[in-house]
Structure 1
Amino acid sequence: MRLRKKPWAKDEIVGYDKLVVLEPERYRGRWNEWFGNNQPIHAELGTGKGNFITTLAEKNPSVNYIAVEVREEVLIYAVRKAVQKGLTNIAFLWLNINKIEESFAEGELSRIFLNFSDPWPKNRHAKRRLTHREFLDKYKKILVHGNEIHLKTDNEGLFEFSLNEFSDTGFRLKNITFDLHQSQFEEEKSVMTEYEQKFVSRGMKIYRVEAIYQ
C-alpha cells in the first residue's frame, strides 16, 4: 500500500533542525563534526518509519547513525521515534540515494544497512535496485575498507540478485541465511523493521547477508 503525500510532513520535518540535516552536502567529510565526536558512523539507506535504526541508536550510544529516506511522509515517523526516545546519536537525511556520494566523503561510513529495499522485479528496472553494481560502486567510495553492508529482504529474487552483484564486484560474503528467524543469528534477528515484524508474524522467510568491502 502506497502512502499518500502528507503536505504537513515537510513543514514538520524542517522543524526538527537538531535531528534533520536538510543540506547534507555541507557536512560531506565532516559528519563527526556534526555529531561532535569521532564515533563510527552507520547509515541505513531507505530507513522507512525508522524502527530499525532508532532501536539500534538506542542500544548503541557509542555509534552514530544516519537514516536516509527520500519520502518525507515516511521519514517524519522515524524522526518522531527519535524524539520520543531522546536520541542524540542519530541524524536524518531527506535524500535520494542516487545522490549519496554528494553527502559522504571517501571512507566516511563504517557500515551500511539495506533493509527491505524495493525489489524492482522487472529486469528492465534492475539498475534501480539498491544492490545493483552501480550503487555498490557508490557505496565502496564512502565505506571504510574492511567494513560491511548488511542486507535484509523478504524477496528471494532480490536476494539472489544481490548475492551475485556483491560477489561480482569484489565483496566477500559472510553470515548468509535464507531464513533469518529460524537461524542461529540471535542478535541480528532481535532488531526488526516494521516490515520485518509484519512478515515474521505471517511466517515469511527473511533473507540476510553481510557483504564485506575488501
Structure 2
Amino acid sequence: MVPINPPHRNPPDPRLVDALGAGNSSTRLRAALTAGTQADPGLTDVLVARCAIEPDFSVRDMLTWALTRLPAELTVPRLLGQLRSDRAQARSQALHTLSKIGDGSAWPAITRSLLHDADDEVARSAWRAAVVLVPAGHRRELATDLAAQLGRGDRAVRLSLSRALVALGDVVVPVLEQARASNDPLVRAHARATERLLHDPDAGFDLAVDEADRIVALGPERVGGAAC
C-alpha cells in the first residue's frame, strides 16, 4: 500500500505571528481574533506558546478561542505538554483551554498535583477542567479530592472551589457533610457555603463567605461554638 502523506501546511503568516507578540495589547487582540477566524493549523504552536506568556486577560481569552477553532488532535497534545511547564501561567492557561475544548482524552493529565497546585490560578483552572473532563465513574473520587481543599484561599478561590464541587452534583453531598464536622471553622463555613450554593445557585454563598472571613479575622478561639 502506498502511504498517504499528510496534507502540506504552509507556514503561518509571519506578519500575524509578529502581531501576536506586538507591544500593543489591542494589536495582539486583533491578531488573536484573526488567528481564530482563519483557523490555520500552522498557528497551533505559536498560539500555545503565546498563551504561556500573554499578560492581558482579554488577549489570553481570545487565544483560547482561537485554539478551540483548531482540530483537537493538534491542540490537545501540545496543551498537555504545557501542564508540565515550570511557568504557572502556562499550566493555568493550558488547563483553561482544555476545559473549553472538552476532549475527554485529556482527563488522565488532570493530576492530583495540578488539583492541589500551590498557585491559586493553576488550581482554579484545574478544578474547572476536572469537572468538565471527569468520567462518570471518577466523580465521587474527584469530589473527595476537591473537598480536601475547602477553606483554601480568598473569596475568589473559595467560590471557584464551591462552583466546581456544585458542578459535580449530588455526589458532593456526603463529602460536604463530612467537611461540616471538621475541626477547622473555616472548612466548616466553606462547606456550609457550598451546600447553600448547591441548593440555590443564585443565593447564599456571600453570607457564608463573610462568616468565614470573620472567623479568620477574629480567630477560632474567639468565635468558638458560634462557627459550628
Q: TM-score over 0.5 for the alignment? A: no
Quickly name the TM-score band, shorter chain normalised. Answer: 0.3 to 0.5
User: Of the two structures, which has the highest relative contact order with CA contacts closer than 8 Å and spacing of 6 or more?
Assistant: 1
Structure with higher strand content: 1
Structure with higher helix content: 2
Higher radius of gyration, 1 or 2: 2
TM-score, normalised with respect to structure 2: 0.35
TM-score, normalised with respect to structure 1: 0.36
